[in-house]
Each structure stands twice: as C-alpha cells, then as structure tokens.
C-alpha cells in the first residue's frame, strides 16, 4: 500500500465524517439558520476532501481542471444559496428569534419601512 493510497483513504474518511456531521446537524439543530450552517460548512469541506483525494489518485490535468471547476462553482453557489434560504426563512417567519443574539436584519427592515412611510 503506497502513501498516496493511504492519503486517499484518509481524505475519504475525513469527507465521510464531515458529511455525516452535516447530516446530523441538519437533523439535530433547532432552526433554519443553524441547519443552514450545518449544511454548508462541513459539506463544502467534505467535498473538498473528496476532490483532493481524486486528484491524488488520478493526477492528470483533465482531472485537476475539472476538480478546480467543481470546487469553484461550489464555493460560489453554496454561500449565496444559504444566504437566500436564510433570508426567505427569516421573511416567512420560520426563524426562532429567541435564539438570535442580535437581529440586525429586523433593525434594517424597520429603518427601511420608516423611510418608506415618510
């Protein structure tokens, strides 16, 4: 067994653990915002670990460019998706406001509503 095979195995185990942690967080966390955090952070890191394992196993330019494209699109779309889902959940009142430490969006919405009514 070579060092590359051991590295690939460890990266896949790390990825599996991160994906499992994301799944457990989605099930166990109490509200939409914390579930979004659990869904995005470990999932992206788990994907990165699998992609690095793929590059270590098959080190060709074609694979490397594909992996870079996949990771780039994931890093560009995942935060925006989580932000829009969180914003929609907030606006449709699916957020537990008692768990928020500081509700900046409510303050901004109230200020915007006051400016609109003038």
- Alpha helices, DSSP H, located in the chain: 3-28, 32-57, 61-91, 104-116
Q: Cα separation of 14 and 111, whole Å?
A: 45
- Alpha helices, DSSP H, located in 58-101: 61-91
> Is the model's pTM score more than 0.85?
no
For residue 10, is pLDDT > 70?
yes
* Interval 25-82: pLDDT, tens: 999 998 888 898 888 888 899 999 999 999 999 999 999 999 999 999 999 999 899 9
For residue 114, is pLDDT > 90?
no
């Amino acid at each position: 067994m070579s060092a590359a095979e051991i590295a690939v195995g460890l990266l896949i185990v790390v990825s599996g653990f991160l994906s499992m942690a994301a799944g457990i967080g989605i099930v166990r966390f109490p509200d939409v915002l914390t579930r979004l955090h659990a869904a995005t952070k470990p999932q992206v890191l788990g994907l990165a670990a699998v992609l690095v394992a793929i590059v270590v196993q098959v080190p060709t330019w074609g694979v490397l460019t594909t992996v870079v494209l996949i990771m780039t699109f994931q890093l560009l779309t995942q935060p925006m998706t989580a932000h829009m889902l969180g914003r929609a959940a907030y606006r449709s009142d699916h957020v537990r406001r008692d768990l928020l430490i500081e509700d900046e969006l409510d303050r901004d919405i109230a200020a915007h509503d006051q400016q609109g009514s003038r």
